[in-house]
Amino acid sequence: MLIEDKGVTLAVHYRLVRKKDIPLIKAIFQKALIFYQIKNKVKTGFGKKLLEVRPAVDWNKGKAVLWLLAKCKFFLKEKKVLPIYIGDDKTDEDAFKSLRGIGLTIFVGRPRDSYAEYFLNDTKEIYMFLNKILQLKKCGDICQN
């Protein structure tokens, strides 16, 4: 088990935990947080082999990505911005939904019910995809000069 301190949030990763121990980890997680959940001090979330603790505020990856996009557009003034969001978990769905129609949203893994518009199979395909974008960027720079 790995506990990741993300500053404002906390993630408990249990990918490497024996299958028989997962229910115990989930039970301890819930027991440790129940008081804070009842008092509306924290929110909990779940992802792919992940338990998450967040502040009890109306904020998610979708709102965060739109905030970052607005900042980016402000600083870049008239330059065009194409947001690309790549994720592999249900915790990324808010971002996929927020960027639908204004950016590229890519789910990594088996295609499933997702707000992402595109799918890649694995990290190898992410690398290939990003290399293609870099090649297109370089070609565009050369063609414009």
Would you state the pLDDT for residue 139? 77
Which amino acid appears at position 36 of this protein?
Answer: Y
Give every residue of the chain whose pLDDT is below 70, as ranges: 140-145
Instruction: Give me the residue spans of the domains in the chain.
Output: 2-55, 61-144
Would you state the pLDDT for residue 112? 78
pLDDT in tens, 58-71: 889 999 999 999 99
Contact 115, 100 (CB under 8 A): yes
How far apart, in whole angstroms, are the C-alpha atoms of residue 96 and residue 91? 10
